[in-house]
Structures are given as C-alpha cells and as structure tokens.
Chains A and B, each alone.
Chain A
Amino acid sequence: MQWFDALVQGILLGGMYAQYALGMALMFGVMRIVNISHGDLVILLSLVGISMASAWGWGPLPVLMALVPLAVLMGWVLQKTVLNKVVGSDPLPSLIATFGLSVALQNLMLQIWSANSRSLPGGGIESQSIEIGGIYIGLLPVIVLVVATALTWGLDIMLKRTRFGRALRAASADVEAAAMTGINPRAVYALATAVAVGILGFAAVFQALRSTVAPADGPAQLIYAFEAVIIGGMGSVWGAFIGSMVLGISQGIGFRIDPGFGVLAGHIVFLIVLATRPQGLFGRA
C-alpha cells in the first residue's frame, strides 16, 4: 500500500515538473535553445505573483489570470530583444546568453525582493486533501496534475492543428525552407517563446502555492525541467510529460525508501536513461 501511495504521490509531483518541462521542450524543439534562465523565470513570475497578492489582496486565481498574460509578454520580449540575436545552428551563443540572463535575473530579484523565502497564500487550498481508499491525496497536487495534462494536450493540439503550430513545426524541421515558404522565422520564434514562458506563468503560481520561493531557487527548478525533457526525449511535448512522470515517480519512490534519497533517486534514473537511451524514451534515434 505504501508503495502504491508513493506511486500516486510521484505522479502528482510529476504534474509540477511537467509544467516546467513543457516550455523547455518547446523552445528546444523549435529553436534548439537550451534556456538556462528557465527556472529563474519561474521564480521571477512567482515573486511578481506573490507581490500582486500582497499588494492587492488577490487570491490565487486572479494572480494566475494576471500572471499568464504577463508571462506571455515577457517571453515575447525576451525572444525579440535577446534570443533572436543569438539563435542559430550553433547552440553555444544562446546557452551563454541565457546563462548570463539567469545570473542577472537572480541578482535583480535579490535586489527587489531580498533573499527571504515567500509563498503565495492559497486560502487553505494548499492543505486540503481527499481520502481515496486509505490514500490521502492533496487537492492542490491534483489540480496541478490536471492543469499540466490540459496544457500538454492543448500544446499538442496547437502544434498539430493550427496555422501557428504548422509554422512552428516547419521552422523546427528546416528554418531556411520555412522562410522559403513565406514564414518569418523570428516572428514564429517570438511566439514560441511567448507560449513557453506563458506556461511558466502557470508553473509559477503553483510553485508559490505548494512551497516557498526565494531568488536563488531557479537553478534547482531548472535541473528538474532538464531531466524531465531529456528522459522523455528532447523536443517532444508528450515526451516531456511522460519524462516528468518518470522523474516524479522515481523521486516519490525514492522518498519512501529514505527521505534523503528522493531527489537523488530522480537523478539516478535520469543518468540511467542518459547512459542507455540518450535520445530519451520518446526521442527519435
């Protein structure tokens, strides 16, 4: 029973990781950009959300509704002003640029919010739970998982069915040929990053609800997004989701073996996948 409980908790944890991983999978899949500032953007959005809540007395839902459009705008501006200048066949310039951005963002946040840990008051939602057959399931993790599934599904449909999705896939397959077909790659990239960071708006609210955030927490979130995306296979949306589940379950079972072993268990599974199937579970060889 306790192992089944560990599995359930792991899946729920995976829901949180999926919200980090989707945006990273999208940006890597389309532009081959590995965004080192991914985790810092989550923390920045969380802190902005927390400030909104304390300044105007907003609950989590109004914060979410304000934060997601803000995140979309941030992503668009980030791509237009920084990433479009470094994107290209060589992954190194964008890696260095986003690493620099990560350091700059952490210092900026430290300056504005200080090093204190904060969290978003959820009005009790964060401590509610449901009992199903002897297993207690937190309401918030269930919401997180449902939202993560909906985001994955929505992103997948968007990529497959919409004009923007086709343009994204075309630019991902061959950017020069996409331009020859009338696509403006930089406009498509700006929208892709807008969507990727927009998803982080959701992640930011849930992260701030379920635990505390501090300006230096970004890199720790980044590593989970990385691991989930690599386990699943870089560039695949459902791969990122499944990778997040694998990571969450590994950690859930690890925590049950020993409370200190949980995070390490996730890293070990990640390393095993990297060693035996480097293209990821769903990646093309």
Chain B
Amino acid sequence: MTAVLSTHGLIARYGDFQALYGVDTELNAGEAVALIGANGAGKSTFLRSIMGLLPVSRDMVRLDGEPVGGTPTDRMVQKGIAIVPEGRRLFTGMSVEDNLRVAIDQATRVGAKGGWTLGRLHQLFPILKEKARTPVQSLSGGQQQMVSIGRALLCQPRVLLCDEFSLGLAPKVIREIYAALPEIRAAGTAMIVVEQDVGLAQSATDRLYCMLEGRVTLTGRSAEVTREQIGEAYFGAGHAVV
C-alpha cells in the first residue's frame, strides 16, 4: 500500500539553523497520525516544510508516491493538502462567512472535488452559522479555531495538517473541537495532528510519531506506546522519570 503522504530524509533549515535532520514519516489514506514533541522539536517546521513554506528538495516529500517537495503552497492545496495553521491565521477584517468563502472560491476555481460544503460545516460547528456575519477578530479563540478548521476543510483536502488546535484554548473548548475529528475522518480525510497534550493526541489518532530536536525518536500505534516510551522519546534518553 502506497502512503498518501510520506517524507523521506526531510531536512529543513531557517538560514544557518538546521531544524529537521532527516525525518521519515508515512501517512496512509484515511489514517490519523499524531506528531508530538516538546517546544522546538520541529513539529511546526515539519508541517511548514510539507506545505512548501520552507525550501526542501523535491523528493523529500511525496504525495501518492509523486515527489512534490518545495511545491508552492497554493499548488499543494490544489493537490489536496490543507493546513490548520498554528495561531489560526484568519483573515482579519473579514466576516466568518467571507473567510470560509475564500476557500470555497479557490476550490471552485481549481475544480477541487470533495464533500465539504458550508451546510455540512454548519452541522459540524453550528456556531459558525450563527456568527456568519461577525468579523473574525471578535470571535472567541475556540470559535476562531473552528473557522480555521472550516476554512481548511473547504479546500476539500485528502490530507489535513493540524497545528496545535488546543493552544490557548479552555479544556471544554478543546474537547468540543476534538469531538469533530471523527466526523472529519469519516469523510476519508487523512490527518496529521500536532499536539502538545500527549493523552489527547493518543486518544484521537491511530499512530504517533514523537520528535526531539529535529529527529523522530519514537513511532508506534497510539494505543500501544507506553508513557515510559513516550517520556524517553520526548525528553531524550536518561531523563528523570517521575
């Protein structure tokens, strides 16, 4: 079985600083994979490299086996990868509906096929219908996150990259957002979920990768890896177990 998305010895740099040291990962169709690790482990960099936001070599990223590394971001979206970026990155000054419409416009322009419509999104997050005309900057953090997820889904992705949904949100809101993931997966969308909360990441995914200082230090089935294994991979060998 060919992975829908895979990375092969992925290396990324910010100027002189090397952030990723040969990361190998695989994401199968319909699968949800967690990417965990401490701050600065390279998780966001990993997602940004896939999206063409950092320069990488062509064959370091493959989509359906085809080398796509370094493809411009808008073309990656056309190829079926969407991202819910860190910090939500909504279009301020525009209403909730206009934010979502931007994605619909572009999906229509390139003839992207997929099942996500404004109506279905409103079923998933009813608040987005209620707040359709509200400028996004006056929404709560959780509502903004829902807009950001909705915007990515309306790009009709086969692969959804999620960068720290839960950052800065209340536990109740986080649960509400994670409750939407099964429905997104049911649509056949494969996911890579970057998450700080290890327990949450394990419960929402099939497999996980743990990163440390730009390298993958652990990979396994989310339900099977132990706290000890994760602790070691998360902090490096020889960490104090408490």
Contact = CB atoms under 8 A, between A and B. Distances in A.
Interface of A: 163, 166-167, 169-170, 173-174, 176-185
Given A163-B109, A169-B98, A176-B73, A181 B103 contact: yes
Contacts of A178: 91, 102
Q: Is the interface of B mostly helix, strand, loop or mixed?
A: helix
Contact of B92 (A173, A176, A184): A173
Interface string B99-114: 1011101111110100
Q: Is the interface of A mostly helix, strand, loop or mixed?
A: helix
B98 to A, nearest CB: 6
Given A167-B106, A182-B107, A182-B155, A173 B93 contact: yes
Given A166-B101, A173-B94, A180 B78 contact: no
Contact of B91 (A163, A169, A182): A169
Contacts of B107: 182
A235 to B, nearest CB: 10
B151 to A, nearest CB: 6
A163 B102 CA distance: 7
A176 B102 contact: no
A180 B102 contact: no
Interface residues of B, number: 32
Given A176-B53, A178-B91, A182-B155, A170 B102 contact: yes
Contacts of B91: 169-170, 173-174, 177-178
Interface string B29-71: 0000000000000000000000101000000000000000000
B103 A182 contact: yes
A165 to B, nearest CB: 9
A176 B89 CA distance: 9
B214 interface: no
Contacts of B51: 180
A183 B155 CA distance: 11
6 contacts: A170-B99, A176-B53, A182-B77, A182-B103, A182-B155, A184-B75
A169 B106 contact: no
A166 B74 CA distance: 16
A88 to B, nearest CB: 14
Given A166-B102, A176-B89, A180-B89, 4 more contacts: A167-B102, A182-B103, A182-B110, A183-B102
Contacts of B108: 163
Interface centre among A167, A178, A180 (most CB of B within 10 A): A180
A52 B155 CA distance: 47
Contacts of B53: 176, 179
A181 to B, nearest CB: 5
Contact of B105 (A167, A179, A180): A167
Nearest to A185: B74
B106 A177 contact: no
B53 to A, nearest CB: 7
A138 to B, nearest CB: 39
